[in-house]
């Protein structure tokens, strides 16, 4: 068996086309920073400890895999049998303009080829001949903060709406890629629908009451700190509601040029 562990301390995905002023967010995804406590002892106190401590499990992206290797009649084989992935806490910044541009790039890079019934039959037979076998598949719970801007029919914006998705785990399973994709889709889609109440609490059109409560709840510094955080959160909530209402009025007016200038 060959076990491999990959750990990434922090992760951030930038939108390199943000400078074109066609997008609202400069960052697509980023791990939320955690304030670390200062060391209580001088570095010399632990000079005889390990030079590189094993803190791989503390990474914002952690992946552990296991490959089984065996030999039959002089032929060597290997198979991926275990996968464990942990990601987050993660902040997502999604907008319809970025998704549309990404889909257009994918269509150019990987053009769709019309499939004939014969091609579909061959693909299905191959999936049956080589099924996916896992001794263990574990995707840890996802702790997400969702910020969304979309203006397909009406302008909808979410401001730091919390979204928690349960873990996905399979053991000793043999399946196909299509069935595994279906199981993942059903699992995470149902979890997202159950958390729809928290998502509605982040709507900017309503003033993002969920985000307002989170900011006030995380405030510190006594009465003055709580009052300051409450005032700042209330102003941000009112500003978000007013901005969302204004952009919806621009869309309803049908003036595309004015809406584009207002968004810029």
Quick check: 151 and 249 in contact, CB under 8 A? no
* Residue 39 included in any domain: no
Tokens of residue 111, six digits: 């053009």
* Residue 45 included in any domain: no
pLDDT of residue 96: 85
Q: Is the pLDDT of residue 75 over 60?
A: yes
* Residue 40 included in any domain: no
Range of the domain at 227: 208-264
Pick the residue with more confidence: 74 or 136?
136
Burial class (CB in 10 A: 0-12, 13-18, 19+), 127: middle
Q: Looking at the structure, tell me whether residues 190 and 262 fall in a common domain.
A: no
CA-based nearest residue to 147, from 32, 45, 68: 32
Angle among Cα 106, 111, 117 to the nearest 5 degrees reads 130
179-195 pLDDT, tens digit per residue, is 898 899 989 888 877 76
Which of 29-38, 48-57, 113-122, 246-255 ranks highest by mean pLDDT? 113-122
Q: Looking at the structure, tell me whether residues 1 and 109 fall in a common domain.
A: yes
Instruction: Compute the Cα dihedral for 46, 51, 52, 54 and give only its sign.
Output: negative
* Residue 252 included in any domain: yes
Q: Looking at the structure, tell me whether residues 246 and 148 fall in a common domain.
A: no
Q: Cα(82)–Cα(172) distance, rounded to whole angstroms?
A: 10
Residues of the chain above pLDDT 70, percent: 62
Q: Looking at the structure, tell me whether residues 66 and 169 fall in a common domain.
A: yes
Last-in-domain residue among 150, 182, 200: 200
Domain count, the chain: 2
Q: Looking at the structure, tell me whether residues 10 and 126 fall in a common domain.
A: yes
Coil, helix or strand at residue 81: strand
Pick the residue with more confidence: 234 or 207?
234
Angle among Cα 98, 243, 202 to the nearest 5 degrees reads 70
Q: Cα(104)–Cα(101) distance, rounded to whole angstroms?
A: 5
Q: Looking at the structure, tell me whether residues 132 and 256 fall in a common domain.
A: no
Last-in-domain residue among 159, 175, 200: 200
pLDDT of residue 15: 92
Coil, helix or strand at residue 207: coil
pLDDT of residue 72: 82
pLDDT of residue 204: 56
Rg (Cα) of the chain, in Å, rounded? 24
141-169 pLDDT, tens digit per residue, is 998 888 888 776 666 777 777 888 889 99
pLDDT of residue 35: 45
* Residue 49 included in any domain: no
Give the list of residues 6+ apart from residue 227 with CB closer than 8 angstroms, or none: none
Q: Looking at the structure, tell me whether residues 8 and 110 fall in a common domain.
A: yes
* Residue 48 included in any domain: no
Q: Looking at the structure, tell me whether residues 88 and 212 fall in a common domain.
A: no
The whole-chain average pLDDT of the chain stands at 75
* Residue 141 included in any domain: yes
Quick check: 231 and 238 in contact, CB under 8 A? no
Q: Looking at the structure, tell me whether residues 196 and 221 fall in a common domain.
A: no
Q: Cα(1)–Cα(81) distance, rounded to whole angstroms?
A: 10
Tokens of residue 151, six digits: 């203006």
For residues 227-233, average pLDDT? 66
Q: Looking at the structure, tell me whether residues 215 and 190 fall in a common domain.
A: no
**Band (53; pLDDT cuts 50, 70, 90):** very low
Pick the residue with more confidence: 40 or 250?
250
* Residue 52 included in any domain: no
pLDDT of residue 117: 83
Q: Looking at the structure, tell me whether residues 185 and 228 fall in a common domain.
A: no
Residues of the chain above pLDDT 90, percent: 14
Q: Looking at the structure, tell me whether residues 223 and 194 fall in a common domain.
A: no
Tokens of residue 207, six digits: 């003033």
pLDDT of residue 122: 81
Last-in-domain residue among 161, 182, 200: 200
């Amino acid at each position: 068996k060959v076990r491999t562990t990959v750990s990434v301390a922090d992760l951030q995905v930038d939108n390199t086309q943000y400078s074109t002023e066609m997008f609202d967010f400069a960052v697509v995804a980023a791990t939320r920073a955690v304030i670390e406590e200062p060391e209580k002892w001088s570095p010399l106190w632990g000079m005889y400890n390990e030079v590189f401590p094993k803190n791989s499990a503390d990474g914002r992206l952690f992946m552990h895999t296991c490959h089984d290797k065996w030999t039959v009649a002089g032929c060597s084989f290997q198979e991926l049998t275990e996968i464990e992935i942990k990601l987050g806490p993660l902040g997502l910044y999604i907008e319809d303009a970025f998704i549309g541009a990404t889909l257009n790039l994918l269509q150019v890079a990987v053009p769709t080829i019309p499939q004939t019934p014969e091609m579909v039959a061959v693909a299905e037979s191959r999936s049956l001949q080589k099924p996916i076998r896992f001794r263990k598949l574990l995707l840890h719970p996802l702790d997400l903060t969702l910020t969304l801007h979309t203006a397909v029919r009406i302008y909808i914006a979410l401001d730091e709406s919390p979204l928690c998705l349960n873990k996905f785990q399979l053991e000793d399973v043999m399946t196909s890629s299509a069935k595994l994709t279906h199981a993942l889709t059903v699992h995470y889609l149902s979890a997202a629908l159950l958390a729809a109440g928290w998502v509605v609490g982040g709507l900017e059109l309503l003033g993002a009451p969920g985000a307002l409560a989170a900011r006030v709840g995380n405030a510190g510094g006594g009465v003055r700190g709580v009052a300051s955080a409450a005032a700042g959160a209330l102003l941000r909530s009112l500003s978000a509601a007013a901005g969302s209402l204004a952009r919806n009025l621009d869309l309803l007016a049908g003036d595309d040029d004015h809406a584009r200038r207002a968004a810029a």
